[in-house]
A and B are shown apart, each in its own frame.
Chain A
Amino acid sequence: MIAQQIINAISLGGVYALLALGLAIVFSIIGLINFAHGELMTATGYALLGSLLMGVPFPLAVIVAICCGGLAAMAMERVAFRPMRGASVTSLLLTSFAVSSLLKVLFQNGVSARPQTILMPDWMTSAVTIGDITLRVGPAISIAISLLALLGLELFLRRTVMGTAMRAASEDFAVVRLMGIPANRVIATAFFISGIFAALAALLWIANRASVDPLMGFTPVLKAFIAAVIGGLGSLPGAVVGGFLLGVTEVLLQAVLPPELAPYRDAIVLSAVILVLLIRPQGLIPARRVQRS
C-alpha cells in the first residue's frame, strides 16, 4: 500500500516534470509562458483517439500521437508566436491565452464537448504481484518513460550543437545569432521538444483516466506552471525538481490527510508554494540570465 502510494507520487511528479520542462524550455529561450501548452496535450489525446478509431494498432497510434504533439507545438509557434517575436511578455502571454481558447472551442465544436473513452490495452491497467506487494503497471511505466525522456533531453542538451545552442540561447540569444545559428531553428526546436514532452505527459495522463476531453490539458498544465515557478521559472533543473516535488506532495497529502480535510488539499499545497516563494522568490534553482542594461 505504501509502496504503491510512493510509486503513484513519483509517477504524478514525472508527468508534472515533463510538462514543467516543456514550459521552461520555451520560456528560457523566448520569454513566453505558453498557456496553450495544455491544448498540445489535448491535441495529442485526440490524435490517439482518432488513430485508434481508424483502426491503427495501439503502438503505432502512440507514435502518431507523440509526433502530432511535437508538430502541433511547431505549428503553434509558426502561426501564432513567430509574428509576435520581440513583443513584450504580456503580449506573448495574451497571445498564448488566445491560442488556448481558440483551440478549446475548436475541440468542443469540432469533436465533442463530452469526454471520449479511450480503451487502454489490458496489460497497462493490470497489476503485478511481487512477494506480498501488488503494484499497478501503469504508474511504473509512467515513471520509466519520464526518466527516459529526462535522460534523453539531458543528452541532447549536453552532446549536440543544437542542444548547446539552446542552453546558450537561454543566457543570451542575440550572441547565439552572432555565431551564425539561426534563431528560427533554435526556437522551432524548443517548441518541438516542448510538444513532444506535452505529448508524453498527455499519454501518461490518459493512461490513468482512459478518456479525452477538450479541457483535459487545463489542470495538469496549471500544476506544471506552479511547478515551474517553484523550481525557478526558466530553469530546466528547477522545472524537474518542482514537478516531482509538487506531484509527490499532492499524492502524499491525499494519502495522509483525514477525510474532512481532503477537499483542502490544493489549498494546502498552494499555501506551501507561497511559503517557498516567500523564502526563495527566484525559485529553488533560479534560472541564469545575463543581466544587461
Chain B
Amino acid sequence: MLSVSSLSVVYGEVEAVSRVDFALEKGQVLALVGANGAGKSSTLGAIAGLVRPAGGAIRLDGRDIAGLPAEQIARMGVALVPEGRRIFQSLTVAENLRLGGAVHQSAADLKERMAEMLDLFPILRRYFQNKGGNLSGGEQQMLAIARALMSRPRLLLLDEPSLGLAPQVIDAVFDLIEQLKHSGLTILLVEQNVSLALDVAEHAVVLANGAVALTGPAAELANSDLVRQAYLGG
C-alpha cells in the first residue's frame, strides 16, 4: 500500500532523513522506532505532506505522492495524528470531529461516521460540547485519533501517541491501536517507547541518525542484541 524509497528530508544544512526505504502492506502495522532526532517524525511529515522531501519517492498504491500538498494527500486517504496531539483547543470536541470529517461529501456520511466514533470513544460523547483544551492529555489523544479516523482513512499515521501520558492512559491508547489493527486498518506507528511499539506492530524499522539501521519482523527485532541494548535497556 505504501512504499517509501530513498526518501531524504533536509532542513537547511541538516539531513534529517537520509535515503530511507521501507514498505507497508495493506492491513499491516509497521513501527518506526529510534532515538530522539532519528528522523521518525520527519519521515511521517514527508508522507503526510507537511514536509517537502529533498529526494526519493513515496508511493501510495503505486502513485508517487512525494511533495504533494498535505490537503491533497489527506483526501487520498492518509490521516496523520500529529506529535503532541495538536487538537484545536478553542474548538469543541464536536467541532474537532466535524473538521476531521471535512472530506466527506454528504451529510449522511458525516453523521454516520460521527456516530461510529462516539461509539468507539464513549468519553468523547460525554464531552461532546466541551472545548478540546479542557480535556485531559489522554482524552486529547483519543480525540486526536478520533479526529483522524473521521475521514475513514486507508492509512493511519500515528506520531508518538504515548508521549506525555500516564502509564494507564498509555495502555488504553495501545489497546485502541490493537483494536484498530484488528479492524484491518493499515497503521504506520512512530513511537519512542520501543517495547510497546514492537508489541503491537508486525514489522518494524529502526532509524538511527536519519538512516535505516535495522528492519524486520517486530518479534525478531525485539530479540536482537542491538535493539535490546540500545532501546530496551539491555
- Assess A178 versus B91: contact at CB under 8 Å? Given A161-B99, A183-B71: no
Stretch at the interface among B58-66, B73-81, B224-232: B73-81
Are B90 and A165 within 8 A (Cβ)? no
Complex: how many Å from CA A177 to CA B99?
A: 10
- Check A171/B71 contact, CB under 8 A, given A178-B48, A179-B99: no
Q: Is the CB of A179 within 8 A of B86?
A: no
Interface range, A side: 20 to 34
* Complex contact A179–B151 (CB within 8 A): yes
B91 and A177 form a contact (CB under 8 A): no
**A177-B82 Cα distance, complex, nearest whole Å:** 12
Residues of B within 8 A of A288 (CB): 89-90
Task: Tell me, in angstroms, the Cα distance from A180 to B84 when the chains sit together.
Answer: 20
Residues of A within 8 A of B74 (CB): 177-180
Q: Does A175 contact B (CB under 8 A)?
A: yes
Interface size class of B (residues with CB under 8 A): 20 to 34
Measured in the bound complex, the distance between the Cα atoms of B50 and A182 in whole Å is 13
Contact check, B88 vs A177: say whether CB atoms are below 8 A apart: no
| B180 interface residue (CB < 8 Å to A) | no
User: A164 touching B99 by the CB < 8 A rule?
Assistant: yes
A87 interface residue (CB < 8 Å to B): no
Bound complex: CA A175 to CA B48 (Å): 11
The answer on a CB contact under 8 Å between A178 and B89 is no
Given A177-B69, A177-B74, A180-B151, the answer on whether A171 and B99 have CB atoms closer than 8 Å is no
CB-defined contacts of A136 to chain B, threshold 8 Å: none
B82/A168 in contact, CB under 8 A? no
With contact pairs A161-B99, A161-B102 given, residues A175 and B69 touching in the complex (Cβ less than 8 Å): no
Is A183 within 8 A of B69, CB to CB?
yes
Name the CB-closest residue of B to A288.
Answer: B90
CB–CB B88/A175 < 8 A: yes
Q: Which residues on B sit within 8 Å (CB–CB) of A265? A: none
On whether the beta carbons of B90 and A171 are closer than 8 Å, the reply is yes
Is A290 located at the chain interface by the 8 A CB criterion? yes
CA distance A181 to B73 in the complex (A): 11
Bound complex: CA A148 to CA B119 (Å): 40
Residues of A within 8 A of B148 (CB): 178
Residue B98 is within 8 A (CB to CB) of chain A in the complex? yes
Q: Whole-angstrom distance from the CB of B92 to the nearest CB of chain A?
A: 9
CB of B202 within 8 Å of the partner chain:
no
A256 on the interface (CB 8 Å rule)? no
By beta carbon, the residue of chain A nearest B85 is A175
Check A178 against B90 for contact (C-beta < 8 Å). no
From B49, B90, B103, B148, name the one whose CB has the most chain A CB atoms within 10 angstroms: B90
Q: How far is the CB of B52 from chain A (nearest CB, A)?
A: 11
| A residues in contact with B79, CB < 8 Å | 178
| A10–B22 CA distance with the chains assembled, in angstroms | 64
Could you pull out 9 A-B pairs where Cβ atoms are within 8 angstroms? A167-B88, A174-B70, A175-B88, A177-B69, A178-B80, A179-B99, A180-B103, A181-B71, A182-B69
